[in-house]
Amino acid sequence: MTAPRLSLILGGARSGKSRFALGRAEASGLTAVYVATAQAYDDEMRERIRLHQAERQGMATVEAPIDLAGAITAEGRPGRLLLVDCLTLWLSNVMLAGRDVGTDCDGIAAALAGCACPVVAVSNEVGLGIVPDNALARRFRDAQGRLNQQIAALADEVVFVAAGLPLYLKPYAR
């Protein structure tokens, strides 16, 4: 299978997007490197991370909770495929660290555009629900929507996953 240069896999919580992305990485025939953005702040998140680790046994993992652009640049080498999971957790880490969201999002876009290997990036679609009742959550929702649009514009393929089923929003033309 020829892997697209950049695939963006979108979906809601527990939609199957990470499992779908992992399947794409495994089917590529390339050496997959998992670029993890999660931080284990509590027991629930530690358990979620443990479950994700169990799904990707044997896959090299790089932790990039903030410097995702740096990790993509450093790890993106020919013969590999980077699986970035996920842009949503990365964005929340950036916002909570008080960083410049626009600058960091532009940095991610540039790193993805210049990556020397295929990338499968996972992100949540957070704009389908009710309007959040607090300013931080609204800023996050808006920033996530802008980031998803920015990466989708660069991507060769965009897939929305719901109930484990893929809907191809931007099919990869081989």
Catalytic residue numbers read: 52
What is the C-alpha to C-alpha distance for residues 162 and 166, in angstroms, rounded to an integer?
7
What is the C-alpha to C-alpha distance for residues 78 and 92, in angstroms, rounded to an integer?
30
What is the C-alpha to C-alpha distance for residues 48 and 167, in angstroms, rounded to an integer?
25
Judged by DSSP in three states, 13 sits in coil
List the Cα angle 32/36/80 in 5-degree steps. 20
What is the C-alpha to C-alpha distance for residues 21 and 23, in angstroms, rounded to an integer?
5
What is the C-alpha to C-alpha distance for residues 100 and 119, in angstroms, rounded to an integer?
24
What is the C-alpha to C-alpha distance for residues 81 and 28, in angstroms, rounded to an integer?
8
